[in-house]
Structure 1
Amino acid sequence: MSGDPVFLAIDAGTGSVRAIAFDEGGRAVARAAREWTHAATPGHPGGADFDTTGGWQLISSAVREVVGLLRGRPVAAVGVSSMREGFVLYDEHGDEIFACPNTDGRARDQAEQLTRRGLADRIYELAGDWVSITAPARLLWLQQERPEVFAAARHLGMLSDWVVYRLTGEFTTDPTCGSSSALFDLAARDWSGELAAAVDLPARILPQALEPGSTAGAITAAAAEATGLPAGTPVLVGGGDTQLALHGIGATAGTPTVVAGTFWQTTYISDAPTIDPGRRIRTGCYVTPGTWMVEGISFLSGLSMRWFRDAFCPDATAEGGNAYDAMERWASAAPRGSNGLVAVLSNIMQADAWHHAAPAFVGFDINAPERFDRGTFVRAIEEAAAYVARGHLDILDEVTGGRARASGELVLTGGSSAGVLWPRIIAETTGLSVRPSTAPEATSYGAARLAAASVGAELPPAGRSDRIVVPEPAAIDEYDAAFERWRRVYLAQLAATEASGIAPLFTPPGGLAYRTDPTTTRAKDTIYG
């Protein structure tokens, strides 16, 4: 082999797998991607299966393509990341017998059983997440619906762990992805024997938890044949996508970050396993030992913009350049508050009762098309995402004793950070200065940074920018009023959704029922059913 070494990242995301090689300067020198979908589980509405055979073929193909593009340049180490929550079960031979992605919602009845039994409360207290789309309810589903599969299980791992297993033959996990199972004791950064026992899961099934940056093993002969990577190449334990994205941009404790992709995560890195007593947001382990990540999740904020682009803006590229740039130019002509137009999309997170209204646009005047053109609707979509981010930031500030807002700054990363208008709306809505960090492959880069560190190299944080968007005081006042209007409209639409039976944007498995309240969208302690 010839040339300087590179560090390979494999990211098994919700919609695709990416393999990217970064050089010692942090530049991407070769990349390949393969899209995948997750088949519905027959007979179980909301269920989704992960195809381990087909998935491994796609991963192998992407890695082999990157290896070919490197033309003999050596791969010093491999880092792995994946979507969170999804997991894999293996039998005594190491063969996969069950696998699901993060989007799997088959265990609705079982999540509600855990809620009624009071176990959901204990899981949230120890593991920092509710039972809606995490492992406890899915494991209970297996016991009740496929007992033969559950009985045959000898190993469990998250999806990043599965990639590592396919590469090395070793069963491991790491705290960032492992804690998304809701089977972790956050304070210990390890599996909880109590929670495993609560769902009748034998402790022997759970793999060793190693801190991020630890070497899990090396490329086996079989993996070398499949991927083109040399046998013996070191492979690190996997990691959760959001945490590795924060690591990729060098996020630090004290400054909140919004990771703005298909979903938006408003995050804060804490030096303690902070649990929200209101059971609104969730907590997971962060990359550095002794640190945790608290986050509020916004449903489909980035996808909402793509939907509007595809449905209503086919001519956006006619002006030349990126369609989103054109849409933001149109939106810039609309005033703050979008002339009273309110986009009802994602709700502020309430982990134990995360109810969303049916998507809607409320408050437009069909007699005033000049005030309610496409640009006004685009601005309303961007404002709706900013309102949810503000709501999550308020909760983060509350549970951290005022530390989340103390710096006066917020970092914005992900695809939505590339715009001009969206960062300004977020600054004016939250009242914080916004520093965009344009790192389009932040998760992969975070994995590569860990891989480099494992062999004594250091990659610089990605996407550092000197650009800071400072909110104007008058704009903050305007958005304070607009935010309260959005809350009132959302609450009314939530009630209308419940009364009409129209499909909401999302309803959580195992969620508490809600009743409308004049001051809040918080859930009441009334169990579904």
Structure 2
Amino acid sequence: MDILIACDLGTSSCKLTALDLSPAAGAARILGTASRPYPTHHAGDGRAEQHPQDWLRAFAAAVRDLAGAGRLTGLCGLAFTGQMSAALLVDGAGEPLHPALIWSDQRAVRETQAAEAAMDGQAFYALTGNRLNATYTGPKLAWLARHEPAIWSRAARFVQPKDWLVARLTGVTAMDHSDASCTGLYDLAAGRWSEALFELFGLPRALAPDLAEAATRIGALKPDMAGVLGLPAGLPVILGGGDGPTTALGTGIAPGEAYASFGTSAWISVLSPAPVIDPARRVFSFRHVVPGLYAVTGSTQNAGSALAWLLDGILQSREPGGDIDAALAATPPGADGLLALPYLQGERTPVWDSLAGGAMVGLRSHHTRAHLVRAFIEAICYQLRLILDTFADCGLTPAELRVVGGLASQPKVMAMLAAILRRRLVRQKAHAHATALGAGMLGAIALGAIEAGEATGWAEAEAAFEPGAKIAAFERGHAAYAALYHAVLPIQAMLRGA
């Protein structure tokens, strides 16, 4: 009984990783993986919603995929992680009352402004480690209270995506501290829900689920769900943590070290023994899944999601990965003077503007689809450079970054990112599964298979990318990109009628 299923309930798909925890395996060995997608429903009002039943269907299908591949013999447990900052209300039976407002939903701008009028933004930041923004759960819940009174009257709890799935499997509703610290309702220093913050957003404290550490054996698989999944009833279920802090564990970084996640969204995190207070409130701090540590983070809303919009929606590419590789091979650094601002879902670090929109500058008749693709990839890399520059302003200057996420699989993209960030990048061996690997570490700790201090030994490096000589086109591009948002802001305001 040494096989653990780690589930990463991400933004675009449910990803499962089967891990061998047997002592003979040494560090956990990945036996197999499975992934099933689900849609996000967008609209021009800032809407970004997902249906919880889609999460459950994707999870069940991925379990069947692993079972069909013969990877589920000798199961010892299920461990979870998932996307953060969502808002999902459930009734007393744990049934979802509406589609989940995921992290990228930006409709709660008015609620954010009302909260900032009632509480100084710096005080909120000092209390929560986060700034007041529509990204977070508190404003989203306030938006639901104002716009969906019929739903609100039936609400018993709010949960995060992984917590809803865990509750569906076990009947136990709880939230770990890392996920709670990304809601805007959590006192970061005290490590508990804040009564004052619930009052700030006009929310009843009774909606908050109980808190537990991420490496907690929260319950056992119920017989009805065991029948649906084809798994043994009573299987231990580990609560797990939010995907950002869980990925920090999965990369094996120590305090003072950093990693970058380069996927649907993208972020850079530095592990710290204390929250970092940025006077300009550009970076934010989460509770780490390991008690006593914090993940200091700068994040962009628009990475793989922006590329998917361009490749799938606009260019209708059938082979996105091949299109990326071909575009970088066919075009020079700087994309022949084409610069993109990929703010398709607002933006976080460093501008924190929920209403920000995208732009293309320098477009000429000789530009091709390859130039468009390169411009978008360069823009995402420039945005990460802005985040790294922001860390430097806060006294955080990591010499290298461990890199994970789907885009890390592209060597040309990694080489470009190293050149733009001016940092050595180390791609992790499990770069496509680092978040699930972190969940597996939490599961192994909860089940007593390893001690907490042993978990980071599972992380292995695969390849390194050096920054090399400065590339003038990238330096010019980065300087222009840093000015672009502010240059187009008045024009975008005019278009909105602001």
Q: TM-score, normalised by structure 1?
A: 0.81
Structure 1 residue aligned with 2:432: 440
Contact 1:212 1:237 in 2 (8 A): yes
Structure 1 residues 301, 38: CA separation in 2 closer, same or farther (over 3 Å shift)?
closer
Structure 2 residue aligned with 1:285: 287
TM-fit CA distance, 1:352? 4.6
Structure 2 residue aligned with 1:452: 444
Stretch deviating more after TM superposition (90-99 or 190-199) = 90-99
In the alignment, is residue 7 of structure 1 matched against residue 8 of structure 2? no
Distance 1:93 1:314 in 2: 43
Listed one character per residue, the Cα deviations across residues 284-332 of structure 1 (whole Å, up to 9, x for unaligned) are 2212111111222223222343444445585879xxx94433333224x
| Counterpart amino acid of residue 157 in structure 1 | V
Structure 2 residue aligned with 1:115: 116
Distance 1:463 1:325 in 2: 27
Structure 1 residues 450, 343: CA separation in 2 closer, same or farther (over 3 Å shift)?
same
3-state SS of paired residue (2:289): coil
Listed one character per residue, the Cα deviations across residues 331-382 of structure 1 (whole Å, up to 9, x for unaligned) are 4xx1x4344332222467246535534321x23554xx4xx55554443333
Distance 1:499 1:448 in 2: 49
Distance 1:485 1:40 in 2: 30
Correspondent of 1:465 among 443, 461, 464: 461
Structure 2 residue aligned with 1:507: none
Structure 1 residues 304, 36: CA separation in 2 closer, same or farther (over 3 Å shift)?
closer
Distance 1:480 1:30 in 2: 41
| Counterpart amino acid of residue 283 in structure 1 | S
Structure 1 residues 193, 467: CA separation in 2 closer, same or farther (over 3 Å shift)?
same
Distance 2:473 2:14 in 1: 42
TM-fit CA distance, 1:259? 0.5
TM-fit CA distance, 1:436? 2.1
In the alignment, is residue 363 of structure 1 matched against residue 332 of structure 2? no
TM-fit CA distance, 1:280? 1.8
Structure 1 residues 409, 57: CA separation in 2 closer, same or farther (over 3 Å shift)?
closer
Contact 2:248 2:295 in 1 (8 A): no
3-state SS of paired residue (2:480): helix
TM-fit CA distance, 1:64? 4.1
Structure 1 residues 392, 73: CA separation in 2 closer, same or farther (over 3 Å shift)?
same
Compare CA radii of gyration and give the structure with the larger one.
Answer: 1
Distance 1:486 1:39 in 2: 29
Structure 2 residue aligned with 1:419: 410
Distance 1:413 1:140 in 2: 34
Query: Aligned residues: percent identity?
Result: 26
3-state SS of paired residue (1:141): helix
Distance 1:348 1:88 in 2: 22
Structure 1 residues 329, 462: CA separation in 2 closer, same or farther (over 3 Å shift)?
farther
| Counterpart amino acid of residue 382 in structure 1 | I
Distance 2:262 2:12 in 1: 16
Structure 1 residue aligned with 2:125: 124
Contact 1:433 1:468 in 2 (8 A): yes
Distance 2:96 2:362 in 1: 51
RMSD: 3.1
Distance 1:301 1:169 in 2: 35
Structure 2 residue aligned with 1:482: 477
3-state SS of paired residue (1:246): helix
Stretch deviating more after TM superposition (299-308 or 78-87) = 299-308
Structure 2 residue aligned with 1:493: 488
Contact 1:218 1:232 in 2 (8 A): yes
Contact 1:174 1:239 in 2 (8 A): yes
Distance 1:37 1:313 in 2: 17
Distance 2:39 2:380 in 1: 26
Distance 1:161 1:427 in 2: 36
Distance 1:71 1:262 in 2: 27
Listed one character per residue, the Cα deviations across residues 423-471 of structure 1 (whole Å, up to 9, x for unaligned) are 2222222222222225112222211221122223356766633633222
TM-fit CA distance, 1:275? 3.0
Distance 2:32 2:316 in 1: 33
TM-fit CA distance, 1:184? 1.0
| Counterpart amino acid of residue 193 in structure 2 | W
Listed one character per residue, the Cα deviations across residues 39-97 of structure 1 (whole Å, up to 9, x for unaligned) are 579xx944455433454344334334434543761211211111111133333344433
Superposed, 1:35-184 pairs within 5 Å as 35-39=37-41, 45-70=45-70, 73-98=73-98, 100-102=100-102, 103-118=104-119, 121-129=122-130, 130-184=132-186
| Counterpart amino acid of residue 439 in structure 2 | A
In the alignment, is residue 18 of structure 1 matched against residue 10 of structure 2? no
3-state SS of paired residue (1:201): coil
Structure 2 residue aligned with 1:326: 326
Structure 1 residue aligned with 2:260: 258
Structure 1 residues 479, 462: CA separation in 2 closer, same or farther (over 3 Å shift)?
farther
3-state SS of paired residue (2:492): helix
Contact 1:120 1:131 in 2 (8 A): no
3-state SS of paired residue (2:267): strand
Structure 1 residues 36, 112: CA separation in 2 closer, same or farther (over 3 Å shift)?
same
Contact 2:425 2:466 in 1 (8 A): yes
Structure 2 residue aligned with 1:349: 349
Structure 1 residues 316, 48: CA separation in 2 closer, same or farther (over 3 Å shift)?
closer
Structure 1 residues 99, 181: CA separation in 2 closer, same or farther (over 3 Å shift)?
farther
Contact 1:338 1:376 in 2 (8 A): yes
Contact 2:302 2:380 in 1 (8 A): no
Listed one character per residue, the Cα deviations across residues 488-508 of structure 1 (whole Å, up to 9, x for unaligned) are 344323333333449xxxxxx
3-state SS of paired residue (1:181): coil
Correspondent of 2:227 among 214, 221, 225: 225
Structure 1 residues 185, 364: CA separation in 2 closer, same or farther (over 3 Å shift)?
same
